[in-house]
Amino acid sequence: MMPLQESVSRHNEPEWMNAIRLQAMQAYSKIPLLGEPDSPIVKHLMRLTDFNPATFEVSPQKGNTQFPRIEEKGMMALPLLEAACNYPERVQPFFGQTVSFMESKMDALHYALWKEGLFVWVGKNQELEPVTINFEGTGGNAFFHSLIVLEEGARAQVTYRFGGNQSGEFLHKDVEEIFMEPHSRAQVCSLQNLGPKAHVFSSKKAVLENNARLNYVHTLLGGRNVKQKIDVVLAQAGAQANSSSAFFGNGAQKIDIETNAFHLKPHTTSRVLNHSVLTEEAYGVIRGILKVLPGATESDCDWHSHTLLSGEKSRGNSLPTLDIHTNDVKAAHGSVFSQISPEELFYIQSRGMPLKEAQRMILEGYLEPVIRQIQDVAQQNEIRNLVEGKIIHEH
């Protein structure tokens, strides 16, 4: 097994990027795993005898990533390392500026070892054709870094698919950084359907300037233990963001989703929506903060979570927080936990549908409010088919 110091060394990248790797490696050795925000996922991993980041950090990265290649006047979509080498003036000012390697042990490990990634840059008033990245992991570890920069008035649609047929332990860590200048528009979607023994850690952060609009949609289906953190920073007046997450947990899956919105300036809007289905012995925690800073008057923020418990041993918890520091603000949060009611089943069965099909229809439909946030109908149907496959496998 290669020493971590050697695995960090990269010979075909700018010196400034390698310096970040070495700093992150030093930070990794000092940050405790439980130094992260308190999480039942982290506590669970600490109890597992078969989870040790040190056993993953130097294992070979195995998988196949299909990258778009767009390199035109006013826009580009390229592998991140290639962009850092050829266009350092575009990459260096933004790389590592939102998600710091000091935020958690897993973030430090990511910045030390990331290998694959995507760089998207769209110039002023340009529109990039839809971009899709397909990652198929087969084992080892995977560290994927995305950097999206939209200049004033730019538009982009980016979709990630993280999947694979891993049969053994697998560590997946991804970081996504998004910078949106005034009046830019973006839809960014991710579909995570990794193997059943994957340990998945994800950190995503978007910063929006004047009147920027972001539609952020995440679907989580795979993994054994999944921890995802999403931060949206409404940094200037008029910025608007919708952040939606859907997950379907079965077996003994453990999922911890944190979605935060930070309102720094007046007239900003955020909508956070989470829909989840937990079956069998799955355990899900949904948390988040709506924070409105002093002076961010006339902000409008909403955080809601809906969880359907379908297994006798399935469990869920919701931990929303409002942190308001000014007046003249609209702020709301709510959490709903429910089960399939006998009345619902009776009504559907009275229309001639067998019991199992009625149950399946209710489970599938529970994620629809998030799935419909995706603009691409083909991608909507892909997610519906994957959810249906999980339900069929369960039954």
The whole-angstrom separation of Cα 208 and Cα 185 is 10
Whether residue 46 is predicted with pLDDT greater than 80 in this model: the reply is no
pTM, rounded to two decimals: 0.92
What average pLDDT does range 268-287 have in this prediction?
Answer: 94
- The backbone torsions φ and ψ at residue 349, rounded to the nearest 5 degrees and listed phi first, read -65, -30
Q: What pLDDT does residue 1 have?
A: 41
pLDDT, tens only, 191-234 = 999 988 888 999 999 999 999 999 999 999 999 899 999 999 99
What average pLDDT does range 243-253 have in this prediction?
Answer: 93
Q: Which two tokens stand for residue 68?
A: 């778009």
Count other Cβ atoms within 10 Å, centred on residue 82. Answer: 18
Q: What is the mean pLDDT of the chain?
A: 87
Pairing label, strands 131-150, 330-338? unpaired
The continuous run of DSSP H or E covering 70 comes out as: strand 70-72
Q: Taking a C-beta distance cutoff of 8 angstroms, is the pair 251, 278 a contact?
A: no
Most confidently modeled of 29-43, 163-177, 336-350, 365-379?
Answer: 365-379
pLDDT, tens only, 58-105 = 445 555 677 788 999 899 999 999 999 999 999 999 999 999 999 988
Q: What pLDDT does residue 57 have?
A: 46
Q: What pLDDT does residue 166 have?
A: 66
Q: What pLDDT does residue 7 have?
A: 58
The DSSP letter of residue 340 is -
In one letter, which amino acid is 18? N
* Lowest mean pLDDT, pick from 40-54, 217-231, 235-249: 40-54
Which residue do the tokens 């760089």 mark?
119
Q: Taking a C-beta distance cutoff of 8 angstroms, is the pair 229, 200 a contact?
A: no
* Alpha helices (H) along 224-374: 342-349, 355-366, 368-371
pLDDT, tens only, 317-347 = 999 999 999 999 999 999 999 888 778 787 7
What average pLDDT does range 296-306 have in this prediction?
Answer: 97
Q: Which of 198, 149, 159, 205 is nearest to 66 (CA)?
A: 159
The whole-angstrom separation of Cα 198 and Cα 165 is 10
Q: Is the dihedral of CA 132, 287, 143, 12 positive or negative?
A: positive
The continuous run of DSSP H or E covering 20 comes out as: helix 15-30
In this structure, the dihedral spanned by the alpha carbons of residues 339, 227, 263 and 177, taken in order and rounded to 10 degrees, is: -140
pLDDT, tens only, 140-172 = 678 899 999 999 999 999 999 998 766 677 888
Count other Cβ atoms within 10 Å, centred on residue 37. Answer: 13
Q: What pLDDT does residue 2 have?
A: 45
